Amino acid sequence: GTQVTVEIHSEDTPLKPIRILSLEKGFQGTEAPRPPGAKDLHAYPWDKSSLKSMPVDLQQLKKLDDYALKVNVKSSVEDLVKALLKQARTELEKVRAIWMWICHHIEYDVVGYHNKSQLSSKAEDVLQMGKSICEGYAELFEQMCSIAGVQCKKLSGHAKGYGYKIGQTFTGNSDHAWNAVYIEGRWHLLDSTWGSGSVDDSFTKFTRRYNEFYFLTHPALFINNHFPDNSNWQLLKPTLTLKEFENNMLHSSNFYTLGLLASHPETPIIQTVNGKASVSVDCRSGTLFTFKLKGTDEHGLMTLKKHGMKLDIYPRETGRHKLEIFAKPSKAEASDGVYSCVLEYVVECESVDEAARFPKDLHQPVGPSWFSERQGFLRPSHREPTIHTNDGRCSLTFTLGKDISVLSSLHADGSGLAEDMGRRHIMQIRRGNQIELKLHLPHAGNFVLKIYSKKRSDPGNYDYIFNYLITCLNTEVKWPAFPQSYSKWMEDYEILEPLSGLLPANRNVQFKLKMHGIAKVLVQAENTYPLTHNRGCWEGTCNTSGCREVFVMVHENANHSFYSHVLKYEVETQ
């Protein structure tokens, strides 16, 4: 079809064209692709730099992408390529236009997958049908590149695709096809089947969802789920063996597109040690994680780190369990974003750690993190998720980085610790931008300390921020609640004594309270006892004979005749 004329003449001869060669239609105008050589290879393992094997500016390609999506030519593969190349000059642009068109116009043929005898993978047929299996995607890609004058090779091999089970071995014929393209003097890898969307594990439904990750993927990441029949096409040094490929951790494309870098352990099957298994993930910036062990997140302790997360899990029964880890970016605007599965492990549990039972109210992640810091809780006195106390008491402090009000509550399983009583076992003291939470546990066991906050100026509800696990093994522990406080008790007031909300009967009790901005303080028992003001504290004694309750009352203004209740104590029954 196309005529090529080449003129060869020296300066002193009259010009006379010599016809060299006429290309027959159907002859593909690219030379046989050269095999990959040293300059095509990338180091393995991944150096955590780029997700692609060459620099690609997606912003710059956006105009081309939009153009390619709109091209609607089905008359022939040649005509389609001709239309796409109107906007594509460089090799990268040509490959990109072909990639974009195929990923958005060809869908996976789930029916054909189950009935391969009826299926043609010829490029022309794939174009007319608008659907195919991986073989057809790769065939069409190769043909279109060839017409565009870009070297391209269809590769086949084993893939950890849909239906893949952890620990599976690969035998027999290859089960997947993809392509290598030659751009700017180097070979690169891509998979347009996986770029176009996903099928469910039973291969009955295709969901169109474009995936940028499989365009010119860095070979050290591509090997994660693509193992070519010819190991030269891994484009890696050193190359991996099939055994290594089978045993390697499978990271989904979400893992890398969310900016995650590595996971430990690096093998997908993990054994518990004394009933516990640990997993960690490294990432570039604040990412939110959740997990599911056998479908629930109750049997673990997950902590968020600045550059990743750490998870200890304690399966409740022996055997093999599926552990899934999900992640989502933490950008403020993406707070409604969906968690995507980024990792899957199989946990083999030989013995159960009976002691590791966590309260139902425990919320993942546990402990302070960059997330609680972002909400204004800075410099936590306790950085670990679990606080162990031997005498049933502990004290936590934070510097508040924002103008917030704080609320906290204590929860335990089956102890009948009602919400309001749970609050009474914590005393909050505010000193400037410091806040202290004093805890007195009502009994031994595992507790959850939940911490909430809201903007001081907001009339609305408090938002949950984070929680700790508090454990106490000492069965002697039995602290009474702190005294009940009323709305006139300010957050920067402080009880120095008595801290216990339960006072002994028939006793003189010493009071010492730090309060400011008031005129008079009275303690009301059977009789009324005034407290005296001394260096910022109100002090005095009260006798608890003949009464069941003791109130602390304040006069806010010396000219007022009425008192406000600020604290209430119970008195032990005799």
User: What are the tens digits of pLDDT across the range 215-238?
Assistant: 999 999 999 999 999 999 999 999
Catalytic residue selected from 42, 104, 105, 176: 176
Domain of residue 569, residue span: 483-573
- Amino acid type, 190: L
Instruction: Tell me how many domains the chain contains.
Output: 4
Q: How far apart are CA 296 and CA 362, in angstroms?
A: 13
Active site residue 176: yes
CATH number at residue 165: 3.10.620
Give residue 23's pLDDT: 46
Does residue 326 sit in the same domain as residue 368? no
Give residue 5's pLDDT: 66
312-328 pLDDT per residue, tens? 999 999 999 999 999 99
Q: Which of 430, 452, 481 is the last residue of a domain?
A: 481
In a domain, 443, yes or no: yes
Q: How far apart are CA 96 and CA 86, in angstroms?
A: 13
Does residue 65 sit in the same domain as residue 172? yes
In a domain, 4, yes or no: no
Does residue 458 sit in the same domain as residue 424? yes
Does residue 267 sit in the same domain as residue 188? no
Q: Which of 439, 457, 481 is the last residue of a domain?
A: 481
The count of other CB atoms within 10 Å of the CB of residue 259 is 14
CATH number at residue 512: 2.60.40.10
Catalytic residue selected from 104, 105, 134, 218: 134
In a domain, 385, yes or no: yes
Q: Which of 452, 481, 510 is the last residue of a domain?
A: 481
Does residue 187 sit in the same domain as residue 263? no
237-287 pLDDT per residue, tens? 999 999 999 999 999 999 999 999 999 999 999 999 999 999 999 998 889
Does residue 65 sit in the same domain as residue 179? yes
Does residue 160 sit in the same domain as residue 276? no
What mean pLDDT value characterizes the chain? Answer: 91
In a domain, 10, yes or no: no
409-421 pLDDT per residue, tens? 999 987 666 667 7
Does residue 156 sit in the same domain as residue 237? yes
In a domain, 33, yes or no: no
In a domain, 60, yes or no: yes
Is the predicted pLDDT of residue 25 greater than 50, yes or no?
A: no
Which is nearest to 285 in space by CA: 306, 264, 256? Answer: 306
Active site residue 134: yes
Does residue 298 sit in the same domain as residue 384? no
In a domain, 11, yes or no: no
Catalytic residue selected from 40, 109, 191, 297: 191
Does residue 209 sit in the same domain as residue 311? no
Cα separation values, 543 from 132, 199, 377, 531, Å: 89, 77, 41, 13
Which is nearest to 28 in space by CA: 136, 134, 151, 141? Answer: 151
Active site residue 425: no
Q: Which two tokens stand for residue 253?
A: 């494309």
509-536 pLDDT per residue, tens? 999 999 998 999 999 999 999 999 998 8
371-414 pLDDT per residue, tens? 999 999 999 999 999 999 999 999 999 999 988 999 999 999 87
CATH number at residue 405: 2.60.40.1220
Does residue 45 sit in the same domain as residue 81? yes
Does residue 504 sit in the same domain as residue 362? no
In a domain, 218, yes or no: yes
Is the predicted pLDDT of residue 28 greater than 50, yes or no?
A: no
Q: Which two tokens stand for residue 185?
A: 């003097």
